[in-house]
Chains A and B, each alone.
Chain A
Amino acid sequence: MMNLYFNFAKAEMGFQIMLIAYLGACICYAFSILRSRYEATIYQIARFLFLLGWCLNVYILIERGIIAGRPPFKTFYESLIYFSFLFGLLALSIEWFKKIKLLGFLSLVIILSAELFALLKQDIDIVTVPPALNSGWFLPHVTIYFSGYSSVTVAFVLSILALIRTGTINLDKDSFWARALGRQEVNFEELHRDWVRIGYLFLLGGLITGGLWAKFAWSDYWAWDPKENWGLISWLIYGVVLHMHHTSFLKGRAVLKVSAASWFLILFTYFGMSYLPTKSQSMHIYTEPLPPEEGKDVKGVNREMY
């Protein structure tokens, strides 16, 4: 907790304001869902703060990209900011057009978790990329993959919403669900299915662009690298989710449950690689420079995966 505070104090100002805006938006969404007093005003503030936070998110990315002279998703920190930008874009547009407050709230919880995690992984340097990443494939591969991550995260939020919302609610009466859904009926299951499809397509695109790139850089389009394998596993399981719609006995809530569980595979693919015993055999390794210590080689580098 103290670490978060220290790192927050050291972060660039854009990041600080962005975090405050996202946090404010999250709190405002919660208020406009929980209380009916000033509901409309607080809701408008929430949306404005969400938009403000997202714009700052774009600003930090562009600034970092210009300083580094390369796409800004080399380190864990950068990739998390990039994720919250892409996921924020999707969540914000859905919320903007469909006005589902609870979706806005849950998305912000995920974005804030990503940003706080980024704060813990804050890097001290804008590092240069090693030759293997210095390629035209870097931008499309990461963008497509992260679009996939973002889309399945939207699907995850929608599956949770579909799972916790049971039965029908009188939308004319003032109630938690009436406020949370913006006083409208939403078919979460259908929306969820759409987003699983989008995510599935992007994950596939990510695997394939990765393969094409790897053929040029590492001489193999598929090297059974742990990161590749977990990308494949999560894609296969989302394939299971899509197939489940076509069985008589696994439709409905079972699909939502499996889909929600699959998101944790994505989470593991993103965060969990350094916990694998095979991590040393992975080529998806990224460098983070170590701080200098007295008596130690200042040029030592620490290798960490993301």
Chain B
Amino acid sequence: MILSKLQSLWNQRPFHENIFKQILALKIWVCFWVVFQHLSVSLEWNDIQQISGFLAVFIIISGLLIGLAPSWAYRLFTSVPFAIAQLVFMAASVALGTLILQELKFSEYLDIYGSVWWGDLPLVLVRYAFAYDLYRSLWFLSLLALLSASTLSVAWKRRPYTLPRGGFLLVHLATSVILLGGLMGKFGFVRAFNELQQNQPVTVFWKVKGPDPNDWKNPFSLPFSVRLDQFEVIKHDPEYRLYAFTQPDGKGGFEDNPKSYDAEAGFKTRLPLTWKRLEILQALPDGLNRSTWFNDVTAPENPVLQVMLGTGTPNPLLGFLVAQDLRTQRFNDPQGRFSLLFNEEFKPRDLSRFKRSEPKSHLVQLTFAGKTFDKEFKKGSIWDFPVFKLKMVRLFNDFPFKNDPNGRPVKVETVPPELRGNWAELELITNDGQQAKILLSARNPEFSKSLNAGNLPPGLSLQYKISGEESFSNFVVFSKNDMKIRSIENGQILKESPLVLDRPFIFKNGFSATPLSLLLNARVDGKYIPNPQARPILERNPAVQVTLSDPRTGKAETVWLDGREAKPTTFFDKKIGLIYRLKDQEARDFRSKITLLDTSGKILAQKQISVNDPLVYEGLWFYQSNYNPEDPTVSGIMVVYEPGLWVTYFGFAMIVIGTIWMFYLKPIFLKRSGRLTK
């Protein structure tokens, strides 16, 4: 029943009106070009040769059709059902490219599609039908060519070209004009990229395929040089807002869409979904933190130890150690001599933690053309790049140089601390065989940058990163559970005595640490004062004092919230949360002032380019492409040359004017000519 119905549908109409048969024909057409592309790949044709070959074969086929079956071809190419079949087929093909990820390696496709039951189809399409670069495949191009041929035939059919038909003509010609512009772009199109250093003119850019700079194999030389005069990141002024969370999720968190308020003194509101009221008592655009700790028996347990530290200087240091906060439980001597620690519990097996230890991981990080790569340091291993290799030579525990720049021997102890610590030695081997020694300091990337400046290609930066190390060897550990103070050096307990308030504990070189007070349920007594000095807007630390009150019980809680710290604070038994923080910190714009210079140094063009505002010089478009957040003196610039652009734009104008003409001007023209003939 269904079969016979389908059969009748299939046979109902002649080929030039039968959309089903036409779609089948389009599939065969597409298969032909898939085979053709396989052939061209096996002949090792490049892109340009492929497209030229495609055009030649397409013209031969068209010639054959016109010569052998002109009326059949004309009827088919000017039939509306064929137009519909092509549009549907084209839409389906475009959709296919949004379902299959584009331009990956086959191994990546295997990872993505290999394990799913429907994965065979995309894999087959990727492997055999060029679906990994669908929009540039010849079979997709063949659909565009067919569309162009059809629209041209239709435009020819609608002769004579009277005024009312002008719109129709324009619209159908426009398709071919736009595609012609795109085709011209295929010949000679260049997209190249380089990272420009300030005041270092460059004539060579590296060709990249997509808008993302992802490979830099081929150079693109310009007949002039490009100089970066200045690069700047324009930021929005920071805006701090107060966020109120009123829906606890029962797991210690809150909803993810809190209501936010402008923090202005005197602001009052009822918080949504509760009866609690919020009032902002004070709002300081720039506040100084004058908070201290005090004991509050109703607060949750939070041990805090106040310690006085004597290191032989006239003024002893006073400070608080917070056991539950990893950041503030420890005080590190700025000169690296010792570290003070307050623990809730001391376990003998923790002893091994209290000694100097080497980093657990060593990474080399390479940044080039806006991309960052990491590799673990392995002695002797080689890191391969298209135009150079990096050999990992060795690691140093400390300052690697035996002599200073003048040749005098150096004692490690006299080296400034910022140059000590771990170092790594690499070797850069370029493709033309040149070798250069690279030394990187983990502690001081800036110094290693200037040290290696002469050896690294422009735009390339290297960093040595370590993690998991302990740089102290002397510790004074206060523990709450057994109320003891221990002096520990490299995992060995040197001295142990009870933790008694106001009794000095003497350790190493006569330094002393005296516990002054121990707060078991410590709470911050917040206090902020307006900063008397005017600071730049980016350095300010806004703070607000808010009161939350419950009108039904009369309870109220008042706290200070620090905008920079942005610490979430809860109220009324964790029923309500507040946070005062920066809204967002999206950059507003990236701007590079660039100058084009000819060989004699004459200025050819100069412009401050930014995102959305490129410099156009003789068909070359220079774009602000990316930047290096760690180095404000470099800017990623992309240059694009695209022949045929204006042809495409002309096609755009044609199709818009044509559509308006066809839909809205045609009836007017028809009416007028009708009146005339009357």
A57 to B490, CA, bound (A): 69
A10 touching B273 by the CB < 8 A rule? yes
Give the Cβ gap from A259 to chain B, nearest Cβ, in Å. 13
**Binding stretch for chain B, among A89-97, A107-115, A174-182, A243-251:** A243-251
Whether, in the assembled complex, A14 has its beta carbon less than 8 Å from a beta carbon of chain B, the answer is no
A221 beta carbon closer than 8 Å to chain B:
yes
Closest to B587 in A: A131
Partner of A221, one of B257, B582, B648: B648
In the bound assembly, the distance between CA atoms of A197 and B253 in angstroms comes to 51
A298 pairs with B101, CB closer than 8 A? no
Bits for A211-245, please: 1 = Cβ < 8 Å to B, else 0: 11101111111111010011011001101100110
A92 vs B252: C-alpha distance in the bound complex, in angstroms?
47
In the bound complex, how far is the Cα of B638 from the Cα of A135, in angstroms?
A: 19
> What separation, in Å, do the CA atoms of A137 and B241 have in the docked complex?
30
Please report the C-alpha to C-alpha distance between residue A244 and residue B84 in the assembled complex, in whole angstroms.
8
In the complex the two chains form, what is the Cα distance from A277 to B113 in whole Å?
11
Tell me if A127 and B586 are in contact (CB < 8 A).
yes
* Contact status B101-A281, CB under 8 Å: yes
B652 and A211 contacting across the interface, CB-CB below 8 Å: yes
Is B496 engaged at the interface, CB distance under 8 Å to the other chain? no
Closest to B651 in A: A208
Q: Is there an interface contact between A281 and B253, defined as CB atoms closer than 8 Å?
A: no
What separation, in Å, do the CA atoms of A197 and B424 have in the docked complex?
Answer: 67
B87–A277 CB distance below 8 A: no
Q: A134-B612, A278-B102 are in contact. Are A236 and B90 (CB under 8 A)?
A: yes
Bound state CA distance, A212 and B650, in angstroms?
12
For B247, what are the chain A residues with a Cβ–Cβ distance below 8 Å?
Answer: 6
Q: Which of A19-27, A152-160, A183-191, A286-294 is the contact stretch?
A: A286-294
Per the bound structure, the CA–CA distance linking A226 and B135 in Å amounts to 12
* Contacts A276-B99, A294-B252; A219 near B621 (Cβ below 8 A): yes
A10: which of B101, B259, B589, B638 is its contact (CB, 8 Å)?
B259
Q: Which residues of A contact B256 (CB under 8 A)?
A: 290-291
Is A125 part of the contact surface with B, judged by Cβ < 8 Å?
A: yes
CB of B97 closer than 8 Å to a CB of A? yes
Which of A134, A137, A222, A229 lies in contact with B95, CB distance below 8 A? A229
Closest to A220 in B: B211
Set of chain A residues within 8 Å of B566, measured between Cβ atoms: 292, 298
A238: min CB distance to chain B, Å:
10
Residue from the set B17, B81, B260, B586 with the largest chain A CB neighbour count within 10 Å: B586
Q: Which chain B residues border A7 with CB–CB below 8 Å?
A: 257
In angstroms, Cα B304 to Cα A279, docked, is 49
Q: Are B83 and A243 in contact (CB under 8 A)?
A: yes
Name the distance in Å between A154's Cβ and chain B's nearest Cβ: 16
Residues of B within 8 A of A (CB): 13, 17, 80-81, 83-84, 87-88, 90-91, 94-95, 97-102, 112, 135, 182, 191, 211, 236, 241, 243, 245, 247, 252-260, 272-273, 566, 568, 579, 581-590, 610-614, 621, 623, 638, 640, 645, 648-649, 652, 655-656, 659-660, 663
Apart from A10-B259, A127-B586, A237-B87, what 19 extra A-B contacts exist at CB < 8 Å?
A123-B257, A124-B243, A125-B260, A125-B584, A128-B236, A131-B587, A131-B590, A230-B95, A232-B94, A236-B94, A240-B91, A277-B100, A289-B583, A289-B584, A292-B566, A294-B253, A294-B568, A298-B581, A298-B582
Q: List 25 A-B contacts (CB under 8 A).
A: A9-B272, A125-B584, A127-B583, A132-B612, A137-B612, A204-B655, A211-B652, A215-B645, A217-B612, A219-B623, A219-B640, A222-B182, A226-B98, A232-B91, A236-B91, A243-B84, A246-B80, A247-B17, A247-B80, A249-B17, A277-B99, A290-B256, A292-B243, A298-B582, A299-B585
Q: Please provide the 8 A-B residue pairs with the shortest distance between their CB atoms, ordered closest to farther.
A: A131-B611, A135-B612, A236-B91, A224-B135, A226-B98, A233-B91, A291-B256, A10-B272
